[in-house]
Amino acid sequence: MAAEAQTQRMALSFNLNGKPTALEVEPHVDLLRLLRETLGLTGAKRSCDLQVCGACTVLVDGRPVSSCTLLAFEVRGRDVVTIEGLRGEGLSGEGAHPLMRSFIDHAGFQCGYCTPGMILAAASLLDEEPSPTEARVREYLDGNICRCTGYKKIVESVLGAAGGEG
Amino acid sequence: MLRPFRLHEPTTVEEATSLLADLGDAARPYAGGTELLLVMKAGVLAYDHLVNVKTVAGLAGIELDAGVLRIGAAVTHRELESSAVLRERFALLASVERRVANVRVRNVGTLGGNLCFAEPHSDPGTALLLYDASVEVAGPSGRRTIAVEALASGPYETALADDELLTRIDVPELPAGMAGAYLKFGYHQRPTLGVGVAVRLSGGARPAIEDVRVALGSVSPRPLRLRDVEDRLRGCSTADAVALASGDAGDLAAAASEAVDDLHGSAEYKRHVTKVYLGRALEQAIEAALAAGPERGA
Ligand SMILES: Cc1cc2nc3c(=O)[nH]c(=O)nc-3n(C[C@H](O)[C@H](O)[C@H](O)COP(=O)(O)OP(=O)(O)OC[C@H]3O[C@@H](n4cnc5c(N)ncnc54)[C@H](O)[C@@H]3O)c2cc1C
């Protein structure tokens, strides 16, 4: 059977970083492409494109997903939070998200490519489990890959934000 | 990048299966897309039409019905890992679900999609064999039941016809007193090996293996129940059984494993880890059955 010639447009309304957003998408457009290319939010990165590395992590209804492989229409009626939405009032100000402050205080990043995904995944964990053990942090984040830090500082950053030790 | 396709969002099983029947090879069911979209992005498969199973009524939810857990095909791994009834009455399956893939794939991927993709490195595909689970399948001419054991016919191949939809996974509780363990091993995203063992012990000071189920997956093109190994272990004292697992019962498992060479390692290597992990899983299953204590020997 031949492909349908005319393009299919779907209405899409959702909350993006707390703001109601309405547009049209074709069904084959992935969320990451919509965020980066249409909406100008480049915090989430396309890296492995296979849901393995976590660089494209965003939160949908508070839970991490790989936006590289989630079709954009799937977020209709839902809450999407990207790293830009978690930003608060600036990185050094009082309004910064506790995880961001903790990543700075513990030197939890080097090149920074994986950091948005790490912080969003960690935010979801702390939302569900405010005081996770180190083992739990490592288990929850084992699908977010970092090629610089060796993970020690990242785990310390997350535990720091959780326990308030940092 | 994905090529354009047309998305269909049927609301009934009948509508979905007649769409699949009408569109034929040009269409595929689509659930979480965590497998399907990857093969489409890679250009391995191309479909002009995807049929969203998540809009079909009746494919959501987890229910316990007279000792049988009825899992809608569109239920995600996350829903399973966080389900109270799973944790309380299907602890083994819950522990498997918690360890599938990564947190992001578990949030989106469904159990139905996992089973229908028949990727040989599936954890639930193996673990469900311990429960004698079955699936309900609907097609244009009605519904039928397929044992999970007969569902995957080979790598990426199932007993489903192209116009059939998997609607439900039925998981009977393990028999009273039976408890088990599922171990996975590997260095890639997906397991190199998965071994599940469930045992029911007889009472007394020197407990014996009254009944046992053994399932093996990932090393082979499809998950397997190892009935010869079960027969070898049944009736043995727990101490003898553990010794046998590293002896001839382990050799039986290795021989029956249908292990193949692939990216995860050679067939020979997989036969070796099969034997090692059979022993470990058996020991943990015995511990779990001892801990489950009260019903033992009832
Ligand atoms: C990075 C990564 C790591 C993974 N690691 C593991 C692991 O450790 N262990 C493990 O077990 N699995 C693993 N998986 C597999 C994962 O469990 C599956 O991707 C997921 O469950 C598939 O579900 P889905 O809803 O996304 O399926 P989809 O991608 O939507 O569909 C998969 C296939 O099933 C068909 N299908 C879907 N639903 C139905 C239905 N109701 N009826 C008929 N056909 C249907 C589709 O047509 C398609 O062919 C991993 C996957 C990834 C991407």
pLDDT tens digits for range B145-184: 999 999 999 999 999 999 999 999 999 999 999 999 999 9
The string of pLDDT tens digits covering residues B45-57 is: 999 999 999 999 9
Percent pLDDT > 70 in chain B is 98
Binding site membership of B34 for ligand 1 (Cβ less than 6 Å): yes
Average pLDDT (B136-151) is 97
Q: Is the pLDDT at A3 greater than 90, yes or no?
A: no
Under the banding of pLDDT at 50, 70 and 90, the label for residue B189 is: confident
- Output the CA B244–ligand 1 centroid distance in Å: 36
The string of pLDDT tens digits covering residues A5-28 is: 579 999 999 999 999 999 999 999
The string of pLDDT tens digits covering residues B24-39 is: 999 999 999 999 999 9
CATH of the domain spanning B62-172: 3.30.465.10
Using the Cα atoms of residue B121, residue B123, residue B127 and residue B129 in order, give the sign of their dihedral: negative
- Output the CA B66–ligand 1 centroid distance in Å: 28
Under the banding of pLDDT at 50, 70 and 90, the label for residue B293 is: confident
| Shortest Cα distance, chain A CAs vs residue B91, angstroms | 19
CB-based contacts of A116, cutoff 8 Å, min separation 6: A43, A44, A45, A55, A57, A82, A83
CB-based contacts of A36, cutoff 8 Å, min separation 6: A42, A44, A46
Average pLDDT (B53-70) is 98
**Token pair belonging to B175:** 């028999």
Under the banding of pLDDT at 50, 70 and 90, the label for residue A166 is: very low
d(CA B131, CA B118): 18
In which order are the strands placed within the sheet that holds B27-30? B6-8, B49-52, B27-30
Q: Do the two domains B6-55 and B62-172 of this chain adopt the same fold?
A: no
Percent pLDDT > 90 in chain A is 86
Q: Is the pLDDT at B294 greater than 80, yes or no?
A: no
Percent pLDDT > 90 in chain B is 95
Binding site membership of A107 for ligand 1 (Cβ less than 6 Å): no
Measure CB to CB from residue B108 to each of A1, A65, A124 and give the nearest one: A65
Using the Cα atoms of residue B117, residue B118, residue B122 and residue B127 in order, give the sign of their dihedral: positive
Q: What is the pLDDT of residue B296?
A: 47
B6-55 classified as CATH 3.30.43.10:
yes
d(CA B43, CA B41): 5
Binding site membership of B56 for ligand 1 (Cβ less than 6 Å): no
Domains of chain A: 12-83 (3.10.20.30), 98-161 (1.10.150.120)
Under the banding of pLDDT at 50, 70 and 90, the label for residue B1 is: confident
Could you report the predicted ipTM of this complex, rounded to two decimals? 0.94
Adjacent-strand bridge partners of B50: B7, B28
Using the Cα atoms of residue B272, residue B276, residue B279 and residue B281 in order, give the sign of their dihedral: negative
The string of pLDDT tens digits covering residues A140-163 is: 999 999 999 999 999 999 999 997
Percent pLDDT > 70 in chain A is 90
Q: Which of A91, A130, A131 is nearest to A109 (CA)?
A: A91
The string of pLDDT tens digits covering residues A123-135 is: 999 999 999 999 9
d(CA B211, CA B175): 10
Residue whose CA lies nearest to ligand 1 atom number 49? B117
Q: Is the pLDDT at B297 greater than 50, yes or no?
A: no
Q: What is the pLDDT of residue B203?
A: 84
Q: What is the pLDDT of residue B191?
A: 96
Q: How many CB atoms lie within 10 A of CB B43?
A: 10
Q: What is the pLDDT of residue A164?
A: 52
The string of pLDDT tens digits covering residues B203-246 is: 888 899 999 999 999 999 999 999 999 999 999 999 999 999 99
| The model scores a pTM over 0.90 | yes
Q: Is the pLDDT at B94 greater than 80, yes or no?
A: yes
CB pairs under 8 A between A and B: 79
Binding site membership of B189 for ligand 1 (Cβ less than 6 Å): yes
d(CA A96, CA A86): 8
Q: Give the residue from chain A lying closest to B36, CA to CA.
A: A69
Residue whose CA lies nearest to ligand 1 atom number 4? B101
Q: Is the pLDDT at B10 greater than 60, yes or no?
A: yes
Q: How many CB atoms lie within 10 A of CB A145?
A: 18
DSSP H or E segment with residue A43: none
Q: What is the pLDDT of residue A88?
A: 58
Residue whose CA lies nearest to ligand 1 atom number 32? B113
Average pLDDT (B288-292) is 93
Q: What is the DSSP string of A47-108?
A: SSSSSSS-TTEEEETTEEEETTTSBGGGGTTSEEE-GGGG-TT-SSSTTS-HHHHHHHHTT-
CATH of the domain spanning B178-291: 3.30.390.50
A80, B156, B200 from B222: Cα distances, Å: 37, 9, 26
Q: Where are the domains of chain B?
A: 6-55, 62-172, 178-291
Q: Is the pLDDT at A165 greater than 50, yes or no?
A: no
